Amino acid sequence: MTASEARPLTATRHFPPGFLWGAATAAYQIEGAAAEDGRTASIWDTFSHTPGKVFGGHTGDVAVDHYHRFRDDVRLMRELGLTAYRFSVSWSRVQPTGRGPAVQKGLDFYRALVDELLDAGIRPALTLYHWDLPQELEDAGGWPERATAERFGAYAALVADALGDRVERWTTLNEPWCSAFLGYGSGVHAPGRTDPVAALRAAHHLNLAHGLGVQALRAALPPRAEVGVSLNLHEVRPLTNAPGDLDAARRIDAVGNRVWLGPMLDGAYPEDLPADTARLTDWSFVLPGDTATAHQPLDFLGVNYYTPTLVSARGGDGPAGGDGGHGGGASSPWPGADEVSFHQPPGDLTAMGWSVDASGLYDLLTRLSRHYPELPLYVTENGAAYEDAVGPDGAVHDPERIAYVHAHLEAVHRAVEAGADVRGYFLWSLLDNFEWAYGYEKRFGAVHVDYDTQVRTPKASAHWYGRVARSGELPELPGVPGV
Alpha-carbon distance values, 346 to 84, 353, 354 (Å): 33, 11, 10
Stretch 408-413: mean pLDDT = 98
Distance of CA 384 to the CA centre of its chain: 13
Residues serving a catalytic function are 175, 381
Handedness of CA 326, 330, 331, 336 (dihedral sign): positive
Pairing of strands 236-238, 377-382: unpaired
Handedness of CA 109, 112, 115, 120 (dihedral sign): negative
Q: What is the pTM of this model?
A: 0.96
Q: Which pLDDT tens digit goes with each residue over 256-299?
A: 999 999 999 999 999 999 999 999 999 999 999 999 999 999 99
CB atoms within 10 A of CB 443: 25
CA distance 299 to 303: 13
Residue 479 pLDDT class (50, 70, 90 cuts): low
pLDDT value of position 321: 56
Q: Which pLDDT tens digit goes with each residue over 56-65?
A: 999 999 999 9
Angle between helices 399-417 and 359-371 (to 10 degrees): 30
Say if residue 30's pLDDT is above 90.
yes
CB atoms within 10 A of CB 58: 19
